[in-house]
Amino acid sequence: MKACVVGYGAMGKILCEMLGEDLALTVAPECEIKNFDNVNMDLDVIIDFSNPNNLDMIYEYSKKTRTPVVFATTGYSDEQLKKINDLAKIVPVLRSGNFSLGVIVLNKLVREATRLLEGYDIEIIEAHHNKKIDAPSGTAKMLLKSCMDATGYDAKYGRNGYCPRQKKEIGVSAVRGGTIVGEHEVMYCGVDEVVTLKHSAYSKKIFANGAIKAALWLKDQKAGSYDMEDVLFGKK
């Protein structure tokens, strides 16, 4: 596999190291080249661990060369998400709020638990390091969507002042501090009992492992929009 990594921050560096001989080049500031202008090679896949500002660059190159893209970046605007969906009509595109295999299984469990624990109050709590710039996290949004799809409830982001809990709401809280890699907890609060589903990440390597697994799978797919559940459980 000839993979291109976009971004050379903490995750980009770990991913480049783990790819080894499968790494063809890195693109974006502070790494091999700054953009795709002078890239003259056939790439099997692009893995983006940078930031939303690089989307236009990736979009244009992928569209021109028909290169599959794994989007591991979060914080996209609605307009940018539409652009990613448009790209998926031309090339294979995989986007996920989290690339931990454990989190993907957690999300599947959340959908099932939400269905079975009908009527329970649902709260989602996520915690990350103090340098994370977006909130709630992409993973929290993914878990929230699973809960909302199963219940039809609305999201309530944080609470402050007079704000009694409504029956049909899902609470979402974000914590930022220290070097927390990533923690996500979904609480189902019923009468006299609480059921909790939780995932804790202790190293960024778990996300790189998942992204590499996704890239190896995606490079052989047809044009379309995919997620990590397609990689682990097969296309729905």
List, in sequence order, every residue forming a beta bridge with 93; answer none if it has no partner. 69, 225
The alpha helices in the chain, defined as continuous H runs, are: 10-19, 55-65, 78-87, 101-116, 138-151, 205-218, 228-233
- Write the single-letter amino acid at 115: R
List the catalytic residues: 128, 132
User: Residues 197, 106: contact at Cβ < 8 Å?
Assistant: yes
Question: What crossing angle do the helices spanning 101-116 and 205-218 adopt, rounded to 10°?
Answer: 90
* Unique residue bearing structure tokens 């624990």: 117
C-alpha dist (Å) from residue 73 to 44, 80, 193: 19, 12, 36
User: Residues 143, 188: contact at Cβ < 8 Å?
Assistant: no
C-alpha dist (Å) from residue 2 to 7, 39, 92, 94: 16, 13, 16, 17
- Rg of the chain over Cα atoms, rounded to whole angstroms, equals 19
